[in-house]
Amino acid sequence: MSLSDADRQYLNDAILLAMRGRGQVEPNPMVGCIIVKDSKIVGQGFHERFGAPHAEPNALADAGDKARGATAYVTLEPCCHTQKKTPPCVPALIAAGVKRGVIGSIICEWKACEVCTRRVAMLRAISCCSSAAVAGSGPATTHN
């Protein structure tokens, strides 16, 4: 399924939100997350500073119970690391009951990367994995 104009707009909004972390999150990337339910933004967050919670937990905290059954628009694929400064984001999205995800960019370049394989498997297991092409880079698809 292709992304709708609304999907693209929410993803663009998440990109603008991510920019608010500029100069604060390095060496990590700037990331934004918008939670949408029934065509309304119910939560939003960005990675505010290095070592602080990532965009997804910030957006989930903002959304509260409204995240259940919602769509998460995330500028970069959610992490699933286990031994870092912050908890992994994929389990947080799953626990919050997010129904669908639209991911703006996937940075893992190694097809056999264990972390990337685990992340995609976790997202697909709950039918939450979606992928979107980076703006202008080609056709975007989504999996509900």
* Catalytic center residues: 56
Question: What does the CA dihedral 121, 140, 98, 66 come to, rounded to 10 degrees?
Answer: 170
Sign of CA dihedral 120, 89, 55, 35: positive
For helices 55-63 and 5-18, what crossing angle results, to 10°? Answer: 110
In terms of phi and psi (left: phi > 0; alpha: psi -120 to 50; beta: otherwise), the region of 122 is alpha
* Residue 39 near residue 6 (C-beta atoms within 8 A): yes
H-run or E-run covering 92: helix 89-96
- For residues 130 and 104, give the distance between their C-alpha atoms in angstroms, rounded to a whole number: 9
